[in-house]
Structure 1
Amino acid sequence: MPSRALPPIKSWQRFLKELALRPDSPAGTLSGLVFSLALEYLKVHGLGSLYGEDPLEASKRLHHSLGLFAGESFPISLAEPQSSDRDLLDSLRQRLDQGDLASLFETPAILGDSLESLQQNERRESLKTIQKADKSLGLSELVAFTRVYTPSFVVDYLIDRTLAHRDPLSVSVLDPACGSGHFLVAALDALLKKTDSNSLKKNLTGLLSERIAGADIDADALSITALSLLLCANRHGFALEDGIRAGALQLVDLESTGMLGSLYRGFPDGCPLSRTYDVVLTNPPYIGRKLMSRSLKARLKEEFAGAHSDLSAAFIYRCLDMLSEGGSLGAITQASIISLPTYRKLRRHLLSEFSIESVVDAGPGLFPLRSGEKINSALLIIKREKDKTERPVEFIDIRDARDRPAALARAASGRDPERVFLVGKKDLDSLDTKGFAYRLPAEMLEFTGTAGKLDEISEIRQGLATTDNSRFVRNIWEVDSRDLNRIWFPYAKGTGQDRWYSPVLHVVDWQNQGERIKQSVATRYPYLGGKVNWVVKNESFYFREGLCFSFVNSRGIAVRKLPPGCIFDVSASAIFCRNRDDDENQEDYLIGYLNSSIMVALLRSLNPTINYQVGDLRRLPVVEGDPKQRLTVAESARACIEARKELVLLTVPESHFLKEPVSGNLNNNSFAESARQRRVRLDQSLEKLRHNENKIDNTVFAIIEKNRNWSPEGAARVKSWLATGVSRKGEATPAPEDFISGLLLADLVDGVGYKNKKSGTRYRLALIKKDSGESSPILELDERDCSYIRELTGKSPEAVLKGTMKARTNKTFKQGFELLIKEESR
C-alpha cells in the first residue's frame, strides 16, 4: 500500500528540519533560504524573471534591492548570497521545483514561517537557558524563544475587524512586535486592494514610508518584514524605481531600553514607536514571571502595574497607549488575560476606558509549531473610545471546534449563532473577580447578582497552614496509636475531586494547642511580632463538625463532610452552617445544593481556574426551596454520603487504617467469593450515588427555577448552558486490576484470613512495615482466587500482584510498607 503523501506545509517543515540538522549547512543557510523563497513567491505570482533567471545572481540582485528599500530605517542583517551558497540554492530550487508547494506561496508569510521552522532547535535551547535559576534573558535567547508567528486565519480576522471601515488613503498601522511582518504585509495588501488605481502609487508610497510601521528586537525577522513588504509591492506592479521605500521599520535595542524593547516609552520623536496609530495589530511575546529575570520583573512592575505578570499583558497596555482616538487594537494573546484573576486590573481598565468590541476564545493549539505547548489563545478587538452607547461585548467561543478557522468564519458572519455570546459591560464588570464569565445566560447573571449569598447563612473559614508539612503532618498509619488525640490529631486535607465524603488519613502535631507549629511560625515570620494567628487562622473553629472543600480541583468545586474532632488544612477550607442546631437538614441540604451540577458549573464560570478560595464560596448565590424540596435534597445528600463511604471502603485501601466497620468483606471462605460480592456492592454503590446525584441536580434546578420565576424559554437556555458547559463528573468505576489490588491491600490492612483453601495455596502476601519490620497477617491465595483474578482483569495473577499491586503499594503508602509476595511451587 503506498504511503500517504504529507500535506504541503508538513512536507516543507520536514525538509527544513532536515536542512537545519545537516552538519555541512553553510553559514548562509538562512539568507539563501529566505531569498530562494522570495524568488519562488515572485515566480508563483508570474514575476519569476523580475530579478533574473540564475538563482544566485537573482538572489544577489534582490538582496541589493532590499538594502535600498530599507534605506536608513535599519541595517539589513541577511547576508548577501555568495558563490559558496550555490549548492544550497540549487538544493532549494530542486525542492521548490517539485511543484507540490505552490499553495504555500499565496502570501510572503511563508518566509517568516520557514524561519520559525528552521530555528526550532534554537528555540528549545533558549527555553532551557531561560529556565535556569538565574533566568538570564539575553537577546539571542529572547529572540529565539519569542519567535512564534501568527496563523494566517488569525491575521485575516484581526485585519478584517480593524481595517474594514478605514480610509486606505489615510489609515496608519503599527505592529510593535512585528516579527517577520505577517500583520503588516497582510494590512498593506488589504489596503492596496481597496485603493483606486489612480491613487495606487501615491498610497503605496505613503503607506510604506510612514503609515505601515513595525518594530522588533530581531534583526533577521525585521529584515524579512522589509523583504516581504517589497515582494508585496512587486506583486502589485511597483519596484524601487517608483520611489517606494520602507521608512517606518524600527530595530529596537534591548540594552538601551532596559530589556523592555518595544515596551519602552522613551523613544525620541520621529521613531515609529513614539507616535500613535489608527490601528495596532500584534502577536506579543509570551513570557511569564517565572521565566523573567529580577530586573525585568522590577521594570515591568514599575511601568505596567497590573499587567506585569506576563510580557503579553504589558504589550496590551503599551499598544493601547499608541492608539489614536477612535483607533482599534487587534491582538492575539494568552487567554489568561480574559480568564485569570491576575489580570483583573487590566480587564477593568479595558472596560472603563475602552470599548471591547470582540473577544474570540480560541483555546490551545493555535500555533502549528507549538503543538506540545498548552498555550490557550484569545483574539481581542478593542477600540479607543469610551463606550457611550453601552454596546454589549461580543464573545466567540471556538475552543471545541475541530476546524477553528472555519468555525470562526461561520460565527463571525452570523452563520453559527450558538458560538456567539453578547454580554453587557455592566454584567461583565459586576461579575469580574476572576475572569469574563461570558457564557453565563442572562438568567444565571440575574440569579448570581441578586440572590442571597452563602456567607449570609454560613461561616466560611480558611484552614491551618503549618508552614512545614514534612515536619508537622503524618499519615495516620505512621504514628503510634497511643499518641493519637494527644500529640497527633486528625487533619482534613484537600482531596481534589472527592465529594460527599473522604476519609481523614492525615494527622497533625497539635500537642499543647499546636505549640510547636506556632513556634515555627513565629521563627519563620519574625515581622508578625508574635501574631501567629495571621498564619494559624481560625483556631476557634477547629474540631467543629461542618463541611469542607478542596482548594485545588480541576473538575469544579467538591464539597464533603468535615467530621467532628478534626483540624482542617488550608487546602480544605471549611463551611459551618449558622443555624445547624435549629435545622437538622440544613447542613445536608447545603452539601447537596453546593455539589449540584448547576452550582458546580456556575462556580466554574465565575472562577475558571482550578483554585477555589474562601471568597469564591462566599459570593455564591443560595436559595432555599419549599420544605418538601429541601428534604428531598437533604435525604439524597445523605444517600450520596453513605454510597461514597461504601465506595471508599471498597476502593481506598488506606482508609482501612481508620478501623471503621468493614462492610465490604462479606465472605471469609475465599478471596474470590469475597471479591465477587464486593464487586456487586461496588456497582450498587455507584448506581446509588449516580441516582441520588441526578435527583439532587433535578431538584436544585427546580428550586432555583421556581425561586427566580424563569420562563420556559429561560429555563431552556440555562439547561442548554449546563449541557454544553463544564459540569460535575461522576464517580468512575475503577479499572479491574486496580479494584483487585485495592481489595487485596485492604484485606492485608484488616488482617483478613480466608479459611477454605481447597485447591492449595499459590501465593502468600504480607505487608511489612519498613521502619520496624512488623508484618501484617499473611493472606493466602489459591488457584480459585487466581482464576478469578484472570477472569476479571484479563491479566495473569503475577502481573496484577507484582505489577499493579506492588506499584500501588509503593504509591499509596509512600514507601512506608513493602509488599511481600511469595509464590508457591505447583
Structure 2
Amino acid sequence: MEKAPIKKFAVEARKKLKADVTFQLERYGITENGIVEPQTSTDKELVFDLGNGNTQTIKGERYVNQYRNLAAHVRGFYTTDEPKKELEQFIEEIAYTWFNRLIAIRFMEVNRYLPVRVLSSEITGQKLPDLVKAPFSGDLEFTEDEKKRIFELQDANKEDDLFRFLFFKQCNDLSRILPRLFENLEGHNSFSELLITLSFNDPNGVVYRLVNEVDERWFDIHTVDEDGKPIGQVQIIGWMYQYYNTEPKDKVFADLKKNIKISKQNIPAATQLFTPDWIVRYMVENSLGRLWYEGHPDFDKSDWKYYLDEAPQEPQVEQQLKDIRAQYAKMEPEQLKVIDPCMGSGHILCYLFDVLMQIYLDNGYSKREAVRSILENNLFGLDIDKRAAQFAYFSVMMKAREYDSGFFGRKNIPQPRVYDIQESNWMGGAYKHEMGSFLNSQAHRDTLNYLLDAFVDAKEYGSILQIKPLDYEGLKEAWETSAAATAGDINMVMWYDAAKDAVAQLIEQAVMLSQKYDAVVTNPPYMSAAGMEGTLAEFIKKNYPDTKSDLSTVFMEKTIAMCKSQGYMAMINIPVWMFITSYERLRVNLLDNESLVNMVHPGRGIFGSDFGTTAFVVYKKHILNYQGHYRRLFDKQGDVETPEVREQRFFEKRGIYYANQENFKKIPGLPIAYWVGENFIDDFRTGKALGDICPCKKGMDTSDNDRFLRLWHEVNQEKFSFGLVEDEKKWYPYDKGGNFRRWYGNKEYVVNYEDNGAELQNSRANLRSKQLYFKEHITWSALTAAGTSFRLSDYKSLFDSAGSSAFPNENSIFYILSIMNTKVFDLIMGVINPTINYGAGSVALTPIKQWDEKDKIDRIASNNVEISRTDWDAFETSWDFKRHPLV
C-alpha cells in the first residue's frame, strides 16, 4: 500500500470539506458575527438578504426544517465567550463526519455491500457512477415525487444534481443500518445535508479525488500484499484517520514549541498513531488468544503467526499455570469481555473481532450467532474522539457484515458497544435542581447525580476516569420506568425527551469504565506532562502519581486496573517506563503484583518516528519466579528501521531471551533488563555503587546561557581565570558536556561567576551542587548518542547540568575514570538507563569493583589523559594552545 497518495488525499479532503462547510454556512447567513435571520419565512421557503443585493433561498419543507435545526444548534455558540472557536469546531466536526461517510460508502461499494455503486462504476472507464446511470437498479425505495425529480434531472442532463440527490438518498437509507454514522436526513435534529456540496465531475472535488487518486484495491477486504497479508479495511481506514489529522497535528506541535499546551479539542490530533498490523496481531494473540488457548489446548491457533510460546518454567511455576488454565477451561465464549479503551479507528477492535469469531466457530456457533453475541456480549471500545469513534463503529460493523452476509437485512441489527465518551457538562445540575423525584429511588437519584458530576469535561480525561462500580443496570431500568410513569407531566416529558439519549450514554460508558475485562488491548495516546493543559495535568497528578510523566504510562496503569484478576493487558508503548527513575514506582507495583508474560521490543521506527517502542503483555497475577519470553528486534540502541524490517526480525527469531522478573528487582532502579545474564546481575551484589564511592552530581542551570556563557576566546583574557577564584576575575572555566571525547577536552566555555556568582544568584539560575564548584572532577556529556565519553577536568571548573560530574578523591580519580571509559561500564549504563541521556543519578548506580592492579591502571589512565590533552591543546580552540604540531 502506497501511503503518499492516501496522505495527500486525506489532507486535501479536509481542506476542501472545511471550505465547503464554511461557504454553505455563509450562504445561509451564519458567520462568526452571528446569524442573519430570513427575510421571508414559510414552512416551504426561506429567503435571506445577505447584503449588497445578494439573496439566498431555501426551498422545500425538508430543507427548511433542516435550516431551522441548524440555526437552533449554532445559536448557542454566540452566548459563549468564544463564538468563533465554537463555530470553527462545529465546521471541523461537520467536515470530518462527511469525510467518514464518504470513506464508508467507498468501502462498502468496493466490497459489494451496496447493491449499486454510488461514487463510481464497476465498468472500467465509465465516469458516471452506477447509481446515477441506473437509479432504480438497487434497493432504494422512491416516492412518486422523488421518481418525478429523478426523471426531470435526467431529462435536463443535470448529472451532478442527480448524483447529489441519489447520494443523500443512499445516506438516508444507511441511517437504518449505521445510525451512529449516517443520520436520518428527515429527522428532527438533522441539518448536515445543507452543509456539504458534492460533485463526481469536479477534478478538485473530494468524490472525484477519492475515486481516482486512491487505489480501490486498498478498500477491498480480499486484497493482500506481496506477503499474502490483507490490506483492506483496517489499513485504509486507519491511515485515512491518521493522515486526515496531519495539519492539526503539525499545528499542535508547532504551538508546543511556543509553550502553548495541548487543549482538550486537540488531544486526538496530537496523540493518535496508527498501529502496524503485525503489532496488533501480536498483542491480541498473546492476550485474548493466550487466555482462550491456555484453557482450551485443542483450539487450532495455526493462523496465529505472532503467538509466543511460554518460556521454560520451573516445576512450581508450571503447577501454578496448570491451576490457572483449569479455570480458563470452564469459560464459555459469551463470558469473554475485551476492550480497547483508546480505540482510535478500530484497528485493534477488528482483530479482536476476528479472534473472537475463531473462538465461537471452534465452539460450534454459526457465524450469524457469533456476530450477534460478539457485538452484544464481548467487544467494547472507547475513545474521546468522535471522529475516531465513527470510524471504529463503522469498522466493527463491517466486520460483522464480513462474517454475516445477511447482517444488514436483519430486522433488529445489533449495534456494537463502541462509543466516543460523552460529557455531562450541559446537564450539570439540571436534574438535581429541577427534576425533584423523577427517579423513585434515592439510590438511583444518587447514582445519576454521581454520573452527572463524574463525566464533567470527560473528553479531557477519557478512559482514565475512575468510575465507581454502582448499580448502573438498575439505574437504566429505573430511568426508563420513571419516564413512562410520569408521561402525564409535560415538564417531565420535555426534560426526559431532551436528556434520554445523553443519560443512556452516560450509563453505558459508566458500565464500560467500571466493569473488569478478561483482556484489555490498546495503543495509548502519547503526550508528556509538559504538553498537558492544567486541568488534565492536575487530574493526573492527583490520581496517577506513579505514572504522571506521560499519558501513555498513565494508561498503562489504568489498563492493568481494568483487567479482571488473572486477566491480560496488552499494549504498545514508549519504553521509558522500563528504565527511567520517574517510573520506578510503576515497576515496583508491576513486578510485585503482576507478571510480564512476554514482550516484543522493536525499538525505533515502528510509528515512522524517532522514538522507541515496546509491545508487551501483562498477566494480572504475580507468579513468583515466572520466566517471561522477550524478543529484542534491534542490534543497537537508537537505530531506526521500518516496521517491516522489525517484523522480519521477529520471524527470523532474532534476539530471543527468557528472563525471571525477580532478577529485575536485584538491579538498582528495577529496570526491565531482560537481556542481561546472571553474572551481570551478580555484579550489583558484589560491586559497590559509584555514588557510594564519590558524589555524582548534576551542575548548574544558568536559565539564560546567552547572558551568562561565552566561548573562552570571546571574553577579555584579563577577566578570565584558569580555575582559580580571584576577586578581579569575571569568567571561569565551565564544563558543558559537548561532543564525544574521552579522557580530556571539550574545554570551550566560560561562565560569569564574578563575585561568587552574584549576578547568577540574582537571576533565575539554579546553582545546583555549589559545594563542589572548583574541585577536580570527572565530567561527561549528558547526551551520548555516539557512546559514553568521560573526561578529567583538572582546571577546577564549574559544571553544567548537561556536563554532570563525579568527584572521586585524588587517589582514585584515574582509577574511576578508567573504569568509566570501559565497554563494560557502557554496557551497564545501557541497562540502568538505555537512553541517549546519561544523568548523574543513573551513573551513580553503576557498580564498581576493586581490582588488584590499581597502580598499573592509574598509570595507563594518566597516560591516556596526557595523550588526549596533547591532542586537544594542538589546536587553537584550546586556551593552552602553543603551536600546531606540524609547524
Matched letter for residue 656 of structure 2? V
Q: Figure out how many residues of one structure are paired with residues of the other and give that number.
A: 628
Query: What displacement does 1:123 show?
Result: 2.6
Select which of 98, 118, 122 maps to 2:244.
Answer: 118
Q: Report if aligned partners of 1:162, 1:279 keep a CA contact under 8 Å in 2.
A: yes
Query: Do residues 181 (structure 1) and 258 (structure 2) align?
Result: no
Question: For the structure 1 residues 106 and 76, does the alpha-carbon distance in structure 2 shift closer, same or farther, using more than 3 Å as the test?
Answer: farther
What is the CA–CA distance in structure 2 between the aligned matches of 1:375 and 1:483, rounded to whole Å?
Answer: 42
The worse-fitting range, judged by mean Cα deviation, of 262-271 and 358-367 is 262-271
SS of residue in 2 equivalent to 1:555: coil
Question: For the structure 1 residues 536 and 155, does the alpha-carbon distance in structure 2 shift closer, same or farther, using more than 3 Å as the test?
Answer: closer
What is the CA–CA distance in structure 2 between the aligned matches of 1:329 and 1:578, rounded to whole Å?
Answer: 49
Query: What displacement does 1:385 show?
Result: 1.0
Select which of 605, 609, 614 maps to 2:835.
Answer: 609
The percent identity for this pair of structures is 19
What is the CA–CA distance in structure 2 between the aligned matches of 1:158 and 1:195, rounded to whole Å?
Answer: 20
Select which of 273, 276, 294 maps to 1:151.
Answer: 276
Question: For the structure 1 residues 40 and 560, does the alpha-carbon distance in structure 2 shift closer, same or farther, using more than 3 Å as the test?
Answer: same
SS of residue in 2 equivalent to 1:287: coil
Q: Report if aligned partners of 2:735, 2:779 keep a CA contact under 8 Å in 1.
A: no
SS of residue in 1 equivalent to 2:848: coil
SS of residue in 1 equivalent to 2:371: helix
Task: Tell me what 2:848 maps to.
Answer: 622
Q: How does 1:138-217 map to 2 (within 5 A)?
A: 138-139=264-265, 141-164=266-289, 165-166=291-292, 168-196=333-361, 197-217=364-384
What is the CA–CA distance in structure 1 between the aligned matches of 2:247 and 2:420, rounded to whole Å?
Answer: 24
What is the CA–CA distance in structure 2 between the aligned matches of 1:377 and 1:494, rounded to whole Å?
Answer: 30
Question: For the structure 1 residues 389 and 429, does the alpha-carbon distance in structure 2 shift closer, same or farther, using more than 3 Å as the test?
Answer: closer
Matched letter for residue 110 of structure 1? I
Select which of 553, 559, 576 maps to 1:319.
Answer: 559
Task: Tell me what 2:788 maps to.
Answer: 557
Task: Tell me what 2:407 maps to.
Answer: 239
Query: What displacement does 1:14 show?
Result: 3.6
SS of residue in 2 equivalent to 1:378: strand
TM-score, normalised relative to structure 1:
0.67
User: After superposition, what is the alpha-carbon deviation per residue over 1:635-677, rounded to whole angstroms, capped at 9, x for unaligned?
Assistant: 4333322332232234x4221x33x5436152xxxxxxxxxxx
Q: Which 5+ residue runs of structure 1 have no aligned equivalent? A: 1-6, 526-533, 581-585, 667-826
Query: What displacement does 1:466 show?
Result: 6.2
Question: For the structure 1 residues 186 and 77, does the alpha-carbon distance in structure 2 shift closer, same or farther, using more than 3 Å as the test?
Answer: farther
Question: For the structure 1 residues 59 and 18, does the alpha-carbon distance in structure 2 shift closer, same or farther, using more than 3 Å as the test?
Answer: same
Select which of 633, 644, 649 maps to 2:873.
Answer: 649
Question: For the structure 1 residues 163 and 138, does the alpha-carbon distance in structure 2 shift closer, same or farther, using more than 3 Å as the test?
Answer: closer
Question: For the structure 1 residues 95 and 563, does the alpha-carbon distance in structure 2 shift closer, same or farther, using more than 3 Å as the test?
Answer: closer
Task: Tell me what 2:716 maps to.
Answer: 479
Q: Report if aligned partners of 1:458, 1:575 keep a CA contact under 8 Å in 2.
A: yes
What is the CA–CA distance in structure 2 between the aligned matches of 1:312 and 1:631, rounded to whole Å?
Answer: 50
User: After superposition, what is the alpha-carbon deviation per residue over 1:68-104, rounded to whole angstroms, capped at 9, x for unaligned?
Assistant: 89999xx999967999535254654455686576437
Question: For the structure 1 residues 193 and 70, does the alpha-carbon distance in structure 2 shift closer, same or farther, using more than 3 Å as the test?
Answer: farther
Task: Tell me what 1:293 maps to.
Answer: 533
Query: What displacement does 1:245 show?
Result: 1.5
Q: Report if aligned partners of 2:710, 2:750 keep a CA contact under 8 Å in 1.
A: yes
Query: Do residues 427 (structure 1) and 663 (structure 2) align?
Result: yes
Query: What displacement does 1:614 show?
Result: 3.6
What is the CA–CA distance in structure 2 between the aligned matches of 1:127 and 1:463, rounded to whole Å?
Answer: 30
Question: For the structure 1 residues 465 and 121, does the alpha-carbon distance in structure 2 shift closer, same or farther, using more than 3 Å as the test?
Answer: closer
Q: How does 1:249-398 map to 2 (within 5 A)?
A: 249-253=418-422, 256-257=456-457, 259-266=460-467, 269=472, 270-271=507-508, 272-367=512-607, 371=608, 373-392=609-628, 394-398=630-634
Matched letter for residue 493 of structure 1? D
What is the CA–CA distance in structure 2 between the aligned matches of 1:509 and 1:380, rounded to whole Å?
Answer: 49
Query: What displacement does 1:248 show?
Result: 1.9
Q: Report if aligned partners of 1:592, 1:637 keep a CA contact under 8 Å in 2.
A: yes
Q: How does 1:210-225 map to 2 (within 5 A)?
A: 210-225=377-392
Query: What displacement does 1:607 show?
Result: 1.4
What is the CA–CA distance in structure 1 between the aligned matches of 2:232 and 2:705, rounded to whole Å?
Answer: 60
What is the CA–CA distance in structure 2 between the aligned matches of 1:199 and 1:83, rounded to whole Å?
Answer: 42
What is the CA–CA distance in structure 1 between the aligned matches of 2:757 and 2:548, rounded to whole Å?
Answer: 40
Question: For the structure 1 residues 48 and 536, does the alpha-carbon distance in structure 2 shift closer, same or farther, using more than 3 Å as the test?
Answer: closer
Matched letter for residue 85 of structure 1? L
What is the CA–CA distance in structure 2 between the aligned matches of 1:115 and 1:566, rounded to whole Å?
Answer: 54
What is the CA–CA distance in structure 2 between the aligned matches of 1:467 and 1:10, rounded to whole Å?
Answer: 42
Q: Report if aligned partners of 1:178, 1:282 keep a CA contact under 8 Å in 2.
A: yes
Select which of 445, 453, 463 maps to 2:689.
Answer: 453
Q: How does 1:485-504 map to 2 (within 5 A)?
A: 485=724, 486=726, 487-488=728-729, 490-496=732-738, 497-502=740-745, 504=747
User: After superposition, what is the alpha-carbon deviation per residue over 1:118-163, rounded to whole angstroms, capped at 9, x for unaligned?
Assistant: 3322332344455554526132x22332343322112111111112
Question: For the structure 1 residues 547 and 449, does the alpha-carbon distance in structure 2 shift closer, same or farther, using more than 3 Å as the test?
Answer: same
The worse-fitting range, judged by mean Cα deviation, of 290-299 and 495-504 is 495-504
SS of residue in 1 equivalent to 2:345: coil
Question: For the structure 1 residues 168 and 109, does the alpha-carbon distance in structure 2 shift closer, same or farther, using more than 3 Å as the test?
Answer: farther
Q: Report if aligned partners of 1:32, 1:85 keep a CA contact under 8 Å in 2.
A: no
Q: Which 5+ residue runs of structure 2 have no aligned equivalent? A: 22-93, 119-129, 133-166, 201-205, 224-229, 293-331, 426-455, 473-506
Question: For the structure 1 residues 615 and 126, does the alpha-carbon distance in structure 2 shift closer, same or farther, using more than 3 Å as the test?
Answer: closer
Q: Report if aligned partners of 1:337, 1:343 keep a CA contact under 8 Å in 2.
A: yes
Task: Tell me what 1:751 maps to.
Answer: none
Question: For the structure 1 residues 535 and 228, does the alpha-carbon distance in structure 2 shift closer, same or farther, using more than 3 Å as the test?
Answer: same
The worse-fitting range, judged by mean Cα deviation, of 332-341 and 206-215 is 332-341
Question: For the structure 1 residues 18 and 509, does the alpha-carbon distance in structure 2 shift closer, same or farther, using more than 3 Å as the test?
Answer: closer
Matched letter for residue 156 of structure 1? R
What is the CA–CA distance in structure 2 between the aligned matches of 1:312 and 1:644, rounded to whole Å?
Answer: 44
SS of residue in 2 equivalent to 1:49: coil
SS of residue in 1 equivalent to 2:847: coil
Query: What displacement does 1:509 show?
Result: 5.3
Task: Tell me what 1:106 maps to.
Answer: 232
Task: Tell me what 2:393 maps to.
Answer: 226
Select which of 7, 25, 28 maps to 1:13.
Answer: 7
What is the CA–CA distance in structure 2 between the aligned matches of 1:483 and 1:410, rounded to whole Å?
Answer: 56
Q: Report if aligned partners of 1:340, 1:434 keep a CA contact under 8 Å in 2.
A: no
SS of residue in 2 equivalent to 1:245: coil
What is the CA–CA distance in structure 2 between the aligned matches of 1:466 and 1:222, rounded to whole Å?
Answer: 47
